[in-house]
Amino acid sequence: MTTSFDPGIARGTVITGKWKRRRYLVERMLGEGANGKVYLVERDRVRYALKVSADVVDLQSEINVLQSLADQRTSEERSFLVDVDDYCHPEGRDYPFYVMRYVRGIKMSEYLAKHGTDWFPLIGFHLLGRLASLHEAGWVFGDLKPENVLVGDYGKAQLVDFGGVTELGKSVRQFTEIYDRGYWTAGSRSADAQYDIFSFAVLIIQLFESRRIAQLTATLLPQNRVAEELMKIARQSAPLQPLQSWLRKALGGGFVNARDAAASWQKTLRPVAARRRHPPSPRWMKRMFVISAMMLATTVIWFIWTNQ
């Protein structure tokens, strides 16, 4: 989802906070959501992500989430929210903004294409852990989709764009249809842990079967949108075979919370990861071993025979 909000901030613009007077040099736009735009900025040779919006209430909600997470996390992660202030636009209007630690990373599909699918179990486990931390702080991510997940070094997944984050128990503020539980008639749009787990399951199916998901959503009538249609795609997908029972439970709201889902994920995929780390020896290696053994045996027999 994008927005028509355009503050007219170009590369090279210096955003100065109205109250704290901190200056940020804009390098480029990183992206946009339903309630604002995010820019890559620099201050004192350090890069940050700065989000500016025309909606004070929406932006304050995101700030509350980030502050809540900072209060419960380790000291290493406390610096995610860096600054909050207002930007005095040259046209005379003030726009609220906040500054976050810049998360370096690429989309999950790009990371797996670059580094191999062996990283898939670890990335999924990290992402479920991020969702669990959010839920334990009293929030649901809501708008979970590929664009809102970045993967950095060593498969470390990060959530970005907190515009859809919703307090537990309330109606989800923002969502993208194909990842939405209500769209698939699989439950309400009430913000609970199972809502995010459902979205995570759809995201995983979409990661490997994006074409089939697109075809399905383009042709399926609203009254036929049910989670079983997603499971049909999963059953026909070779990479998703080890996850059949996990996906069914996730789509059916069977996990107590994201920690429960993460533990099951790890238990399900650990044997698969172990097999990939120790692949069977190729045939040519087996043949070389047999030939070497035969040559050794022949040498030993010849040596014994010549020394009799």
Write the CATH number for 118.
1.10.510.10
pTM score of the predicted model: 0.81
Residue 283 has pLDDT above 50, yes or no: no
Same domain, residue pair 268 and 281: no
72 is a domain residue: yes
Higher pLDDT, 20 or 32: 20
Residue 8 counted as domain residue: no
Percent of the chain beyond pLDDT 90? 66
The answer as to whether 233 is a domain residue is yes
The pLDDT assigned to 33 comes to: 72
In this structure, is the dihedral angle defined by the CA atoms of residues 90, 96, 101 and 104, taken in order, positive or negative?
negative
My answer on whether 92 and 134 are in the same domain is no
Asked which of 101, 125, 145 is the last residue of a domain, the reply is 101
Q: Domain check: are 217 and 286 in the same one?
A: no
Determine the residue type at 276.
Answer: R
Quote the pLDDT of residue 166. Answer: 92
Instruction: Spell out where the chain has E strands.
Output: 14-16, 23-33, 36-43, 46-52, 81-88, 94-101, 139-140, 149-151, 157-159, 166-167
If one counts the domains in the chain, the total is 3
pLDDT of residue 36: 87
Residue 238 shares a structural domain with residue 284: no
pLDDT for 61: 85
- Ranges of H-type helices in 152-257: 193-208, 210-219, 227-235, 244-251
Task: Assign residue 86 the CATH number of its domain.
Answer: 3.30.200.20
Domain that holds residue 297: 277-307
SS3 per residue for 198-226: HHHHHHHHHHHCHHHHHHHHHHCCHHHCC
Residues 229 and 120 in one domain: yes
Position 143 in a domain: yes
**Which of 52, 78, 101 is a domain's end point?**
101
